[in-house]
Amino acid sequence: MKWFGASLLALSACSPAPIQGPVAINGSSRTVAVHGECTPIALDRVDSLTVDGGKVVVHGSAKNVTLGLPASVAAPEPDRHWALVTDGVAAGKRALTFTHDTTLDDFTIELPPGDADIHYGVLAGDVMVLAWGTGSRSYSCVLTIAHTVGGSVGH
């Protein structure tokens, strides 16, 4: 079992409404485009993410959930180049900004509002996995990060 990613504590004064189904997540910047979706997961809370047996596993207090990944991820291996640098609120949503440690590319995504710790990791092939939750409101996101070149998406 390999641990990957990090977590960040964010505080909020109110409890958000739960996500009812898949929510499309898109983000972009001058150099990257990010696409994917967030879905509810059946956990009482999210404690961590791991790569175990070639699969991404979200750990809760009493059970775990294995996430489906895009076909482009043949063998999940952690890639630690992206860092969460900002966790805030924008237009009533939770705004997260990530920066790459060597290229300094960055992007911002907006998630449904929440106050639970964000656990995340990036897999080789530029696939980011996020999970968060508490009080039986737990969620996961699987996002693809594509580098843009001259206004078009490429790798």
List, for residues 17-27, the tens digit of each pLDDT value.
556 778 899 98
pLDDT digits (tens, 9 = 90+) for 108-134: 999 888 889 999 988 877 889 999 999
| H-run or E-run covering 130 | strand 127-134
Secondary structure of 10-63 as H, E, C letters:
CCCCCCCCCCCCCEEEEEECCCEEEEEEEEEECCCCCCEEEEECCEEEEECCCC
95 Cα distance to chain centroid: 12
Q: What is the pLDDT of residue 19?
A: 66
Planar angle of CA 149, 151, 155, nearest 5 degrees: 30
Planar angle of CA 3, 6, 34, nearest 5 degrees: 105
Is-contact 63 43, C-beta < 8 A? yes
Is the pLDDT at 150 greater than 80, yes or no?
no
Structure-block tokens of residue 88: 């805030």
Report the distance separating Cα 23 and Cα 33, nearest Å: 17
Taking all residues of the chain, what is their mean pLDDT, rounded to a whole number? 81
Q: What's the pTM?
A: 0.80
Q: Residue 79's pLDDT band (boundaries 50, 70, 90)?
A: confident
pLDDT digits (tens, 9 = 90+) for 32-50: 999 999 999 999 999 999 8
Q: Residue with structure tokens 């990613």?
A: 5
